[in-house]
């Protein structure tokens, strides 16, 4: 890209279309022949010259936007002349980038039409004589505005070239699709996300048009019904918390009725509801969204950033996930990628990607413990790095331990101070509490660089007399460390447990590599020095290392000198037995890929089907592991009990994603099986005769209250009534801490 082009970016023509459909479903049913994965055919006499870049904004009669993004006109088809075969006049527009909602609609069309809509170019229109009702539609409005993106002002008249219909002498055939797109690395984080690209072993973070290297993983709808992603969504969070989704990465891929979701659903300002298939979903702006859709909005924004930075449509990515993600969560990230129009080439664990960023091309031979404390999750992985070989030998983590939990401890502290100053707690108002959360995050960040900081929130609320009340609290680094010390202790406990799982100790690692934004905290450095007897390694960028490592892995796969990556299973996978036992089939830290079998037999005469409940976790109790689903094998031949034996085969790919099949040991016949979440915690308890109720496993449960409250030790005692009010208010707003 030239310097002139960087200074004066090309402004696309704005193409606003309004189609006379009464619903999105009608649009999909009747307009689908005009849509492919790669583009759209617009039927109109007012065509635009091929090569023109356009900003697409297609609405239906209700005002809902159905297609919004950027494209380029690839070809025109003129009206048919007398005597010629009838053909639809218009233009083929190739998508450059689409907003996530639009991409989701396009993928719905592709799923419905199959191969016919799978092309990377705009669809060629059928002859009018052969057109069905889906194509028998014309445009009711077409506006071409070359002034799009300029400062607000009087509407500019359309340029002369666009004012008259474009009727070329002959139809221009669409060009064939080019080679597959470049592949990027994406760190889909709980609080922030990042995209990077590597070529020739040199990786770089791709910045947005405004120069931002990361974006907040926040999605919102504003009061006008506009979708906001990233910085724009976070900027309005304080005034629109109920319609703003943040931190959803912790819940993606989890069943709504799971103990994990139920334990934390009251901690968010937005509503967590049950999706159509029993999964956890969110409700905001008057609609229900799957958490995969929410993640797709963020991935779509990163995809657009990458496409603009690289000058071409990006459709492939390596995406990172926490090492401690279970099978459902990994599958959900793949689904989110597809919804965003991304082919997820590989899913890689975040600590493994960070190790790649640390060691790639350096020829080092070391054993490294990656300490990854991010905004919402903590992972620890031990890797042996031998030149271009990266072998994970042990991994573990906690998906409910991260920067937001540090923020929550500070929110508690600020509320307590507010009550000391004013005698009453803050009102139960989402805006008030979001402002408190913002203040807590700001002083937490500030205290990594200095000894004291002041949380000041003017006009926080009004008192009983209508007077404005502000929050002003000075917090010292020592107070912060007193409030959050047990959280840091928990990370060290996990790291030690990861080492001990392989009979290793602190002396057996050469480096402790820090990754993740919360690892900037001085208390983390001090605790690591005490636990491992060495200074932590801070040589990689804590916010960017994971995305850079993913990009290096993506680049390496196409090179001769590619790296060898050997990963392991973070949590064991097994089956639940009567009495509530969990029998492991694939043990924790099993090298990937892996395959194991578990044999079951009928327990009664003439039994026609078998069910096997599958769990993931490391506890011998099924009630303390995560339920993945039930394998149901049907169509068994009638026979006496115990004579029909089935082998359930468990196969794990290099990404740690599980597939299952069933094999009749007598005939050798293999039947594809599917893990279906057929059971609720209550029905599982009945089927397996569990004596204990199902609970979220350690590492997948929200942080609980410290019996010896850190807040209580950090500040003077208050009256019993005020302390009870404080506990009750926080309990109602955030659930148990």
Residue 42: closest CA among 108, 130, 138, 136: 138
Does 189 sit behind a cis peptide bond, omega within 30 degrees of 0 on the bond before it? no
Residues 179-184, mean pLDDT to the nearest whole number: 83
Give the count of domains, the chain: 3
CATH code at position 666? 2.60.34.10
Q: What are the phi and psi torsion angles at 397 (to 5°)?
A: 175, -170
Q: Let me know if 436 is exposed, middle or buried by CB neighbors in 10 A (0-12, 13-18, 19+).
A: buried
Q: What is the DSSP string of 606-669?
A: T---EEEEEEESS-SBGGGSEEEEEEEE--PPP--TT--EEEEEEEE-TT--EEEEEEETTT--
Residues 155 and 36 placed together within one structural domain of the fold = yes
Residues 352 and 219 placed together within one structural domain of the fold = yes
Residue 529 resides in a domain: no
Residue 371 resides in a domain: no
Tell me, what's the pLDDT at 678?
A: 56
Residues 674 and 630 placed together within one structural domain of the fold = yes
Q: Any idea which residue has 């960023």 for tokens?
A: 357
Residue 302 resides in a domain: yes
**Angle in degrees, 0-180, between the axes of helices 522-532 and 477-500, rounded to the nearest 10:** 40
Residue 365 resides in a domain: no
682 pLDDT tier (thresholds 50, 70, 90): low
Strands 13-19 and 468-476: unpaired
CA distances from 106 to 98, 142, 664 (A): 9, 21, 41
CA angle 367, 372, 374 (to 5 degrees): 170
Tell me, what's the pLDDT at 725?
A: 39
* Distance, CA of 206 to CA of 195 (rounded, Å): 6
pLDDT of residue 349 exceeding 60: yes
195 pLDDT tier (thresholds 50, 70, 90): very high
pLDDT digits (tens, 9 = 90+) for 114-137: 666 777 788 876 543 333 333 333
Cβ pair 353, 468 in contact under 8 A? no
CATH code at position 241? 3.30.420.40
Residues 153 and 196 placed together within one structural domain of the fold = no
pLDDT of residue 707 exceeding 70: no
Residues 150 and 194 placed together within one structural domain of the fold = no
Residue 387 resides in a domain: no
Tell me, what's the pLDDT at 220?
A: 94
Residue 399: closest CA among 360, 373, 431, 362: 373
Tell me the residue length of the chain. Answer: 737
Residues 187 and 331 placed together within one structural domain of the fold = yes
Question: Domain boundary at 129, 163, 197, which?
Answer: 163
Residue 284 resides in a domain: yes
Tell me, what's the pLDDT at 733?
A: 38
* Distance, CA of 382 to CA of 254 (rounded, Å): 27
Q: What pTM value is reported for the model?
A: 0.72
Q: Which residues contact 517 (CB under 8 A, 6 or more apart)?
A: 191, 192, 373, 374, 375, 403, 542, 543
Residues 153 and 9 placed together within one structural domain of the fold = yes
CA distances from 549 to 86, 165, 556 (A): 54, 50, 10
Residues 98 and 132 placed together within one structural domain of the fold = yes
End-to-end CA gap in the chain: 51
CATH code at position 19? 2.40.10.220
78 pLDDT tier (thresholds 50, 70, 90): low
pLDDT digits (tens, 9 = 90+) for 575-594: 998 888 999 999 999 999 99
Residues 136 and 250 placed together within one structural domain of the fold = no
pLDDT of residue 712 exceeding 60: no
CA 670 to chain centre: 35
Question: Domain boundary at 526, 554, 582, which?
Answer: 554
* Distance, CA of 429 to CA of 159 (rounded, Å): 51
Cβ pair 102, 68 in contact under 8 A? yes
pLDDT digits (tens, 9 = 90+) for 620-659: 998 889 888 888 888 888 999 988 899 999 999 888 888 8
Residues 30 and 63 placed together within one structural domain of the fold = yes
Question: Domain boundary at 671, 687, 703, which?
Answer: 687
Mean pLDDT is lowest, of 106-120, 166-180, 535-549, 690-704, for: 166-180
Residue 230: closest CA among 245, 215, 244: 215
Mean pLDDT is lowest, of 116-130, 296-310, 484-498, for: 116-130
Average pLDDT of the residues of the chain: 81
Q: Which domain holds residue 213?
A: 183-358+544-554
Tell me, what's the pLDDT at 720?
A: 38
Residues 358-381, mean pLDDT to the nearest whole number: 95
CA-CA-CA-CA dihedral for 157, 159, 165, 169, to nearest 10: 180
Tell me, what's the pLDDT at 502?
A: 96
pLDDT digits (tens, 9 = 90+) for 512-531: 999 999 999 999 999 999 99
Residues 220-235, mean pLDDT to the nearest whole number: 90
609 pLDDT tier (thresholds 50, 70, 90): confident
Strand partners, 586: 573
Residues 206 and 347 placed together within one structural domain of the fold = yes
Tell me, what's the pLDDT at 335?
A: 93
Strands 658-664 and 610-616: unpaired
pLDDT digits (tens, 9 = 90+) for 670-679: 766 666 655 6
* Distance, CA of 549 to CA of 554 (rounded, Å): 9
Residue 682 resides in a domain: yes
Tell me, what's the pLDDT at 729?
A: 40
Residues 154 and 213 placed together within one structural domain of the fold = no
CA angle 208, 214, 220 (to 5 degrees): 85
Residue 175 resides in a domain: no
List strands edge to edge, sheet with 219-221. 227-229, 219-221, 244-245
Tell me, what's the pLDDT at 191?
A: 94
Tell me, what's the pLDDT at 83?
A: 47
* Distance, CA of 269 to CA of 256 (rounded, Å): 17
Residue 419: closest CA among 710, 717, 706: 717
**Where in the sequence numbering do the catalytic residues fall?**
187, 249, 350, 372
Tell me, what's the pLDDT at 463?
A: 86
Q: Which residues contact 682 (CB under 8 A, 6 or more apart)?
A: none
Extended strands (E) in 62-124: 65-77, 90-98
């Amino acid at each position: 890209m030239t310097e002139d082009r960087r200074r004066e970016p090309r402004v696309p023509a704005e193409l606003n279309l309004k189609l006379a459909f009464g619903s999105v479903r009608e649009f999909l049913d009747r307009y689908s022949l005009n849509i492919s994965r790669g583009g759209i055919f617009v039927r109109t006499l007012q065509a635009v010259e091929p090569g023109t870049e356009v900003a697409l904004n297609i609405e239906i009669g209700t005002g809902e936007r159905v297609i919004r993004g950027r494209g380029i006109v690839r070809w025109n088809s003129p009206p048919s002349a007398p005597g010629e075969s009838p053909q639809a006049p218009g233009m083929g527009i190739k998508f450059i980038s689409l907003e996530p909602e639009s991409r989701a609609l396009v993928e719905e069309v592709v799923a419905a039409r199959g191969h016919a809509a799978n092309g990377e170019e705009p669809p060629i229109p059928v002859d009018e004589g052969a057109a069905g009702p889906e194509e028998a539609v014309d445009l009711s409005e077409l506006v071409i505005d070359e002034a799009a993106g300029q400062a607000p002002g009087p509407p500019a008249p359309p340029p002369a070239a666009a004012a008259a219909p474009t009727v070329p002498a002959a139809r221009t055939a669409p060009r064939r699709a080019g080679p597959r797109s470049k592949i990027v690395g994406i760190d889909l984080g709980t609080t922030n996300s990042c995209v990077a690209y590597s070529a020739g072993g040199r990786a770089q973070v791709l910045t947005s048009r405004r120069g931002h290297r990361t974006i907040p993983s926040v999605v919102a709808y504003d009061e006008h019904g506009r979708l906001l992603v990233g910085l724009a969504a976070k900027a309005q969070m304080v005034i629109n918390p109920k319609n703003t989704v943040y931190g959803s990465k912790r819940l993606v891929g989890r069943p709504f009725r799971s103990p994990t979701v139920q334990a934390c659903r009251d901690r968010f300002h937005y509503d967590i509801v049950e999706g159509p298939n029993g999964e956890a979903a969110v409700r905001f702006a008057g609609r229900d969204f799957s958490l995969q859709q929410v993640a797709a909005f963020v991935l779509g924004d990163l995809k657009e950033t990458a496409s603009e930075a690289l000058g071409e449509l990006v459709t492939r990515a390596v995406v990172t996930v926490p090492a401690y993600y279970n099978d459902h969560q990994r599958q959900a990230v793949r689904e989110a990628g597809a919804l965003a129009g991304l082919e997820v080439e590989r899913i890689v664990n975040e600590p493994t990607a960070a190790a790649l960023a640390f060691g790639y091309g350096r020829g080092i031979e070391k054993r490294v413990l990656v300490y990854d404390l991010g905004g919402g999750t903590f992972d620890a992985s031990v890797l042996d790095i031998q030149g271009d070989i990266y072998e994970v030998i042990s991994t573990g983590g906690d998906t409910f331990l991260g920067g937001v939990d540090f923020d929550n401890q500070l929110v508690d502290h600020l509320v307590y101070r507010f009550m000391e100053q004013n005698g009453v707690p803050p009102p139960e108002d989402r805006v008030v509490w979001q402002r408190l959360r913002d203040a807590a995050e700001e002083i937490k960040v500030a205290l990594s660089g200095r000894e004291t900081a002041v949380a000041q929130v003017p006009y926080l609320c009004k008192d009983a007399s209508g007077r404005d009340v502000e929050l002003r609290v000075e917090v010292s680094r020592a107070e912060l460390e007193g409030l959050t010390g047990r959280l840091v202790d928990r990370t060290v406990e996990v790291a030690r447990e990861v080492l001990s799982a392989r009979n290793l100790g602190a002396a057996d690692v050469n480096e402790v590599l820090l990754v993740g934004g919360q690892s900037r905290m001085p208390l983390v450095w001090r605790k690591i020095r005490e636990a491992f007897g060495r200074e932590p390694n801070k040589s990689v960028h804590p916010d960017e290392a994971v995305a850079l490592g993913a990009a290096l892995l993506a680049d390496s796969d196409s090179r001769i000198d590619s790296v060898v990556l050997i990963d392991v299973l973070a949590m064991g996978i097994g089956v639940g037995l009567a009495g509530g036992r969990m029998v492991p089939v694939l043990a924790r830290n099993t090298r990937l890929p892996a395959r194991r079998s578990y044999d079951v037999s009928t327990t009664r005469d003439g039994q026609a089907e078998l069910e096997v409940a599958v769990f993931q976790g490391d506890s011998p109790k099924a009630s303390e592991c995560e339920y993945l689903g039930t394998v149901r094998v049907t169509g068994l031949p009638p026979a006496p009990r115990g004579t029909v034996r089935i082998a359930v085969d468990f196969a794990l790919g290099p990404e740690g994603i599980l597939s299952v099949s069933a094999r009749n040991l007598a005939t050798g016949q293999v039947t594809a099986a599917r893990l279906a979440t057929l059971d609720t915690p209550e029905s599982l308890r009945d089927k397996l005769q569990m004596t204990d109720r199902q609970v979220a496993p350690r590492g997948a449960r929200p942080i609980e209250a410290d019996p010896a409250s850190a807040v209580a030790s950090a500040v003077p005692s208050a009256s019993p009534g005020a302390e009870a009010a404080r506990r009750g208010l926080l309990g109602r707003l955030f659930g148990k801490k």
